[in-house]
Amino acid sequence: MAFELPALPYARDALAPHISANTLDFHYGKHHQAYVTNLNKLVEGKPAASMPLEEAIKKSWTDKDMGVFNNAAQIWNHTFYWHSMKPNGGGKPTGEIGERITRDFGSYEAFAEQFKQAGATQFGSGWAWLVLDGGKLKVTKTPNAELPLTAGQKALLTMDVWEHAYYLDFQNRRPDYIGTFLDKLVNWEFANKNLA
Ligand code: MN3
């Protein structure tokens, strides 16, 4: 069975005015779709074609099959990113994730500072993450398509910092996009669900 583009968890204009429908038309409709199309071409007739996506990611990483890895991981990363945001999201976390952030970072503000720093300092394309690593919450960043799965970490939340994620709405102002992600978009319920 071919890999498929998962549905967006909200309408394409649902994150406006922070992230526009125009951005989602390109980012979801073109970029995310292209990773699915490319992966299906690359694995046609091969064992990876019938693997669950996470297995295809892990195997291609181990085998250094970077074409398959990059496309498979980018499918996973983008689906995870869409769920890491929601309309009327943002602000301080509640529930278990809120308590764990205070415990492991000292405060929400200290977490936010680290997360902004990770996103702003990822040179070129990549991702900023909140992960669970050995029972402790950590902020990390990865280049290109790389993801916590191959580092043995559990992803709780992600932010895409490839230029295509923000350029139509924020142009070169990556820090403004990052601030908006935290203040207006982040979906803490999703992080709580991943932590559970
Ligand atoms: Mn992207």
What separation in Å is there between the alpha carbon of 80 and the centre of ligand 1? 11
Write out pLDDT tens, residues 9-30. 999 999 999 999 999 999 999 9
- Cite the residue boundaries of each domain of the chain with CATH code 3.55.40.20: 95-195
Query: According to CATH, what is the number of the domain 95-195?
Result: 3.55.40.20
Please give the Cα distance from 156 to 87 (Å, whole number).
Answer: 18
Structure tokens at 161: 């910092």
- Which of 171, 128, 134 minimizes the C-alpha distance to 146? 128
Residues 76 and 57: beta-carbon distance below 8 Å: yes
CATH number, domain 21-83, options 1.10.10.200, 1.10.238.10, 3.40.50.300, 1.10.287.990? 1.10.287.990
Where do you find CATH 1.10.287.990 in the chain? 21-83
Cα of 106 vs centre of ligand 1, distance in Å, is 30
- Tell me how far the alpha carbon of residue 30 lies from the centroid of ligand 1, in angstroms: 10
Cα separation, 178 vs 56, whole angstroms: 30
Token duo for residue 168:
């139509």
Determine the distance separating the centroid of ligand 1 and the alpha carbon of 163, expressed in angstroms.
8
Q: How far is the CA of 103 from the centre of ligand 1 (A)?
A: 31
Residue 63: how many other CB atoms lie within 10 Å: 11
28: CA distance to ligand 1 center in Å?
8
Confidence of residue 1 (pLDDT cuts 50, 70, 90): low
Locate 134 and state its tokens: 């050995």
Phi, psi of 185 (to 5 degrees): -125, -30
Q: pTM of the predicted model, to two decimals?
A: 0.97
**For 133-163, how does the pLDDT look when each residue is reduced to its tens digit (9 = 90+)?**
999 999 999 999 999 999 999 999 999 999 9
Ligand 1 centre to CA of 78 (Å) is 6
